[in-house]
Amino acid sequence: MTTSMTASPRVEMLGVSKSFPGVRALDSVDLTLHPGEVHALLGENGAGKSTLIKILTGALECDRGDIRLEGRPVSFRTTGEAQASGISTVYQEVNLIPAMSVTKNLTLERTGGRLGFVSWRRAREQAREKLQRLKLDINIEQSVGSYSVAIQQLVAIARALDDDTKVLVLDEPTASLDAQETETLFGIIRDLKARGIAVVFITHFLDQVYEISDRISVLRNGSLVATKPTSELPPQDLVAMMIGRELGDVEAAFTKSERKAPGAEKVVARNLGKKRMLEPFDLVLRAGEVVGLAGLLGSGRTETAKLIFGAIRHDSGSLSVRGTEIRGNSPRRALDAGIAFCPEDRKTEGLVGELSIRENIVLTMQAKGGWLRRIPHRDQERLADEMIKALAIATPDAEKPVGQLSGGNQQKVVLARALASKPEVLLLDEPTRGIDVGAHAEIIVLIRALCDEGLALLVASSELDEIVAASDRVAVLRDRQKIGELSGEAINHENIIRMIAGGGADHE
């Protein structure tokens, strides 16, 4: 590390600025990357991380500022030009062509070949060589889409790496990986580092930042807060730099407020289940109470929420809402009964990216009110403005397409949409996925506030902190089965982990 720090910088970005209509995305940001370092780039959603990376990798052009690669000024007009100069990127959403084979994905626009012809024999050799670098052994003829997201991620990295790669940018590479896959990835990153590649690592997992990075740069509201060696920046300071307020506020958000006794039973599930998906379970949701769903990935958290909402049809048991049984449950009936659902994957299931904030918020209401009874435009605007204010959505106005918002703000729009239909029961699946500490705390505060207003909430989350902080009661799941509930003082990390890991004393 010390030797690499004294070497001349690989990349220097100086005074980089970029504006979008209505938003100043970057304001005179400097970033220096040294060979053989892992440089963590941190910041809240909308801080400008993605914009900075897109400028570095040629996907966007900056309005002002200089980029120097090994001392020479460069300006990339396309990602292809940046790649050719040795700057490679793996974007947040895995960017591969799912329908094409691994070979084609690895060699697309990367094969030599005379007169534009492709030699598939050479392409296959090249593909194997690339996978060999990551010690990845998969069938290269199969389509990329047939592999898990983790494998796709590694294929994307394999694609990004060349013999002459100088800078590798990884944007949230671990978001969809489990612990072991993350470890494999870190092994690969250390390997790349040893080869003198400068790795830019964007993540919102702070423990991973401390595990792998040498230096940290923090962006906030489009400006660089600071760049510091990881060893000189304790986590508390880092969080404070990221969210720009005292850590105490965040912690306060996580501590439980005075809680009232729960109200009437809103949803009662008895023996609700679906074959090969979820074992029958009992669950009661009460007004003014947050029920957390804890469990590992694949334990059936999402399925539980979707069964109650009717997005998945149950084949056993019964579900009643406010005393009346719902037969043949469907999302439409759930909405009519006052249940709203915020799905985990906001991109594919929750929001229509091209539509504006206002239109997205009005969607469910329109469905509920019937297509013929149009909601007056003025009411729509009023509602959207109310929601933007209530949830503090960062946007110039309600007409901005949702696709252009940052992750945390998109999540707030999902929430706004669910709330616009004035539900009595709100099901949230991973409400803080892909958003970082500041927005995280805000969402939890929101959840508690909704609860205090008498809503019945179900929160499924992979983050234990969140479950512990937000819930009045926790349902614990393991292997597609509900294995128990915790409430009150019993809700803490150790108890939940013990239930998930051991199933009580009998296995210990």
Partner 1 sequence: MNKKYLPLAATIAVFIGLFLIGGGLYRNFLSTMVLGNILADNAFIIIAALGATFVILSGGIDLSIGSMIGFVGVCMAVLDSMGWHPMVSAGLMILFGIAYGAFQGFVIDFCRIQPFIITLAGLFLLRGACFMVTLDSVPIHHDFVDAYAAAKIPLPGRGVLRSSALVMLASLVLAIVIAHFTRFGTNVYAIGGDKESARLMGVPIRRTTIGVYALGGFYSALAGVVYALYTSSGYPLAGSTLELSAIAAVVLGGTLLTGGVGFVVGTLFGGMILGLISTMIIFQGTLNSAWIMISSGGLLFIFIVLHRFLVGSFNLRGNS
Quick check: 99 binds partner 1 (CB under 8 A)?
yes
Question: Which of these ranges, 6-14, 60-68, 92-100, 242-250, lies near partner 1 under the rule CB under 8 A?
Answer: 92-100
Range 480-488, long-range pairs (CB < 8 A, 24+ positions) = 480/277, 480/278, 480/279, 480/298, 480/299, 480/300, 480/303, 481/278, 481/279, 481/281, 481/300, 482/279, 482/281, 482/282, 482/283, 482/300, 482/304
Position among 109, 164, 232, 489 found at the interface with partner 1 (CB under 8 A): 109
Residue 274, H or E segment = strand 265-274
Distances (CA, A) of 490 to 336, 474, 495: 35, 9, 7
Tell me how far apart the alpha carbons of residues 447 and 394 are, in angstroms, rounded to a whole number: 18
Tell me how far apart the alpha carbons of residues 79 and 389 are, in angstroms, rounded to a whole number: 38
Q: Residue 317: which residues within 8 A CB-CB, separation 6 or more?
A: 269, 270, 271, 272, 273, 280
Least distance to partner 1 from the beta carbon of 306, Å? 18
Burial of 12 (0-12, 13-18, 19+ CB in 10 A): middle
Least distance to partner 1 from the beta carbon of 209, Å? 25
Quick check: 76 binds partner 1 (CB under 8 A)?
no
Residues paired with 74 in a beta bridge: 67
Quick check: 298 binds partner 1 (CB under 8 A)?
no
Query: By CB under 8 A, what part of segment 118-157 binds partner 1?
Result: 118, 120, 141-149
Position among 78, 132, 236, 330 found at the interface with partner 1 (CB under 8 A): 78
> Which residue, 144 or 202, has its beta carbon nearer to partner 1?
144
> Which residue, 117 or 371, has its beta carbon nearer to partner 1?
117
Tell me how far apart the alpha carbons of residues 345 and 353 are, in angstroms, rounded to a whole number: 13
Position among 49, 104, 274, 314 found at the interface with partner 1 (CB under 8 A): 104
Least distance to partner 1 from the beta carbon of 353, Å? 11
Least distance to partner 1 from the beta carbon of 86, Å? 13
Question: Which of these ranges, 115-123, 299-307, 323-331, 468-476, lies near partner 1 under the rule CB under 8 A?
Answer: 115-123
Quick check: 51 binds partner 1 (CB under 8 A)?
no
Residue corresponding to tokens 């090249």: 126
Position among 38, 45, 91, 430 found at the interface with partner 1 (CB under 8 A): 91
> Which residue, 89 or 471, has its beta carbon nearer to partner 1?
89
Least distance to partner 1 from the beta carbon of 109, Å? 5
Position among 18, 49, 159, 417 found at the interface with partner 1 (CB under 8 A): 159
Residue 215, H or E segment = strand 215-220
Q: Binding residues for partner 1, how many (CB under 8 A)? A: 34
Quick check: 75 binds partner 1 (CB under 8 A)?
no
Distances (CA, A) of 243 to 151, 246, 366: 33, 8, 36
19 torsion bin: left (phi>0), alpha (psi -120 to 50), beta (else)? beta
Burial of 110 (0-12, 13-18, 19+ CB in 10 A): middle
Quick check: 297 binds partner 1 (CB under 8 A)?
no
Spell out, one character per residue from 185 to 224, where the chain touches partner 1: x when CB under 8 A holds, - when not.
----------------------------------------
Tell me how far apart the alpha carbons of residues 67 and 250 are, in angstroms, rounded to a whole number: 36
Position among 72, 117, 164, 376 found at the interface with partner 1 (CB under 8 A): 117
Least distance to partner 1 from the beta carbon of 302, Å? 15
Quick check: 111 binds partner 1 (CB under 8 A)?
yes
DSSP 8-state secondary structure symbol assigned to residue 101: B
Q: Which residues bind partner 1 (CB under 8 A)?
A: 59, 78-80, 83, 89, 91, 95-100, 104-105, 108-111, 113, 116-118, 120, 141-149, 159
